[in-house]
Structure 1
Amino acid sequence: MSLFDAVRWLYDATIPMGDLRPLVVREVVGNVFGLASALGGMRRRVWAWPVGIIGNALLFTVFVGAIATRGDTPTLLGQAGRQLMFIAVSAWGWWSWRRARREQDAAGAATARAASLVGDAERDDGVQPRWATPRQRAGLVIALFVGTAALTPLFRALGSSEPVWADAWTFMGSLLATWGMARRWVEFWLIWVAVDLVGVPLLLGAGYYATATMYIVYGVFTLSGFFVWRRARRAQG
């Protein structure tokens, strides 16, 4: 099989779901990359960003395909747009974490050498998380609600399916959560919780079962990820 044939198969392949809408293989594969990215994010590894970008690119083709074909598939404009947003913000997050990792390596070189001399060679290879300030937290909450209110009529005018506010909420929440992750704020995990609470029923109702399932699994990671990052932050002193 040539590379072209493999790509064409991936684009066209579906999994029968009985009376339900067939499951698009690209949706499954894209969410596998998304889950891998979530695991990398929990461990504060830089590679989480490029892995997530691959998943976003695959999921974009799924949702934009629904917009192009319409038919009986609900159009989730926010879900399509959020994949492009993810790619753009993730590129910045990748660069930001790489820079932070280099700075941490430079600053911790002497400490690591001293630790090895006393027999303590344990090292945290993840980027260092930090708390957002009270002002930044308030800004995130305000931006989530104001952004949702502003995007809802826009998405409705562009043809997004009901409930449009939920589509706008998941888009805005995803933007803020990804931004918070790039800034290494511990609180970004809690934004994902808010996204998942709305996104799961939205996607199930629209028939995107693989993505909805990923949201449910990811919901577990968002809660555990918050505590993992909080513990890592406390360990910094």
Structure 2
Amino acid sequence: MQEILQQTTWQEWLGVVFSVFQVLLARKNNSNNYLFGIAGISLSLYVMFFAKLYAEFTLNLYYLVMSIYGWLYWKFGKKQKETAISETTNQEKMITAAIVIGTFSLFWVFLTRFTDSDVPIWDSLVSAFAWAGMWLMARRKIENWILLNMSNIVAIPLLIHKGLYLYAALTAFLFIVAIFGYLEWRKIINRKWSLRNL
């Protein structure tokens, strides 16, 4: 255990700390989660590149863009007021499926043909589900938690395989938080429906 802790870089430690704050704030429906996310993502870019997790590196670039977009969307939305949590529409479900299939295909082709990745399928799967989940989170859709946990369940053994134990522990923590995040957001939606039906 001590050897694992000694091998962990300060970038990984700090990236994990910022990411923990980000997900706890997201669970509480606090739009400032994105500010911590931007800091954590910036550090994760460095770590993932040197671990040769190129799809996850690209995923973190996407996270960075979506975090900026998400913060602005959560704060101002379409009508210059904070956007409410909601469920995905049928059109958004189709877009989500297209994101998963499209990003998996693109990453798999890129990783197998142009990189020295030894885990192209798993790295592509993690990224595909996470890309779709992050898009849903930025739009404040409850199903984001489901897609993100599909990514998490694949990412945990992948990160252990790569020796990124701290990120694996963070991902296991994120998996648990996502379950509670889904339940809390479901309560908010149910409360909104109850008030509407009064």
TM-score (structure 2 length as normaliser): 0.89
| 1:35 equivalent in structure 2 | 20
What is the CA-CA distance between 1:142 and the residue it aligns to? 3.9
Cα deviations by residue, 1:126-152 (Å, 9 ceiling, x for unpaired): x52000013322431343134212320
What is the CA-CA distance between 1:224 and the residue it aligns to? 1.2
Q: Distance in 1 between matches of 2:135 and 2:100?
A: 12
What is the CA-CA distance between 1:16 and the residue it aligns to? 5.7
Q: Distance in 2 between matches of 1:24 and 1:227?
A: 34
What is the CA-CA distance between 1:51 and the residue it aligns to? 0.7
1:82 and 1:175 in contact (8 A); partners too:
yes
The within-5 A match list for 1:57-136 is 57-64=42-49, 66=50, 74-100=51-77, 103-104=81-82, 128-136=84-92
| 1:213 equivalent in structure 2 | 169
1:82 and 1:174 in contact (8 A); partners too:
yes
| Counterpart amino acid of residue 98 in structure 1 | K
1:76 and 1:160 in contact (8 A); partners too:
no
Q: Distance in 1 between matches of 2:80 and 2:3?
A: 47
Structure with the higher helix share, 1 or 2: 2
The within-5 A match list for 1:1-237 is 17=3, 22-64=7-49, 66=50, 74-100=51-77, 103-104=81-82, 128-237=84-193
Q: Which runs of 4+ in 1 moved over 3 A?
A: none
Residues 63 and 21 from structure 1, CA distance in 2 versus in 1: closer, same or farther, beyond 3 angstroms? farther
Query: What runs of 5+ residues in structure 2 fail to find an aligned partner?
Result: 194-198
1:189 and 1:226 in contact (8 A); partners too:
yes
Query: What runs of 5+ residues in structure 1 fail to find an aligned partner?
Result: 1-14, 67-73, 105-126
Look up the SS of the partner of 1:17 in the other structure: helix
| 1:124 equivalent in structure 2 | none
Residues 195 and 22 from structure 1, CA distance in 2 versus in 1: closer, same or farther, beyond 3 angstroms? same
What is the CA-CA distance between 1:208 and the residue it aligns to? 0.8
Cα deviations by residue, 1:10-34 (Å, 9 ceiling, x for unpaired): xxxxx9626x981112112101111
| Counterpart amino acid of residue 55 in structure 2 | G
2:99 and 2:131 in contact (8 A); partners too:
no
2:103 and 2:127 in contact (8 A); partners too:
no
- Which stretch of the first structure deviates more once superposed, 153-162 or 199-208? 153-162
1:16 and 1:23 in contact (8 A); partners too:
no
| Counterpart amino acid of residue 44 in structure 1 | N
Q: Distance in 2 between matches of 1:86 and 1:143?
A: 14
What is the CA-CA distance between 1:90 and the residue it aligns to? 0.7
Look up the SS of the partner of 1:151 in the other structure: helix
**Count, aligned residues:** 192
Larger Rg: 1
Q: Distance in 1 between matches of 2:189 and 2:6?
A: 44
TM-score (structure 1 length as normaliser): 0.75
Cα deviations by residue, 1:166-196 (Å, 9 ceiling, x for unpaired): 1112222222111111101000000011001
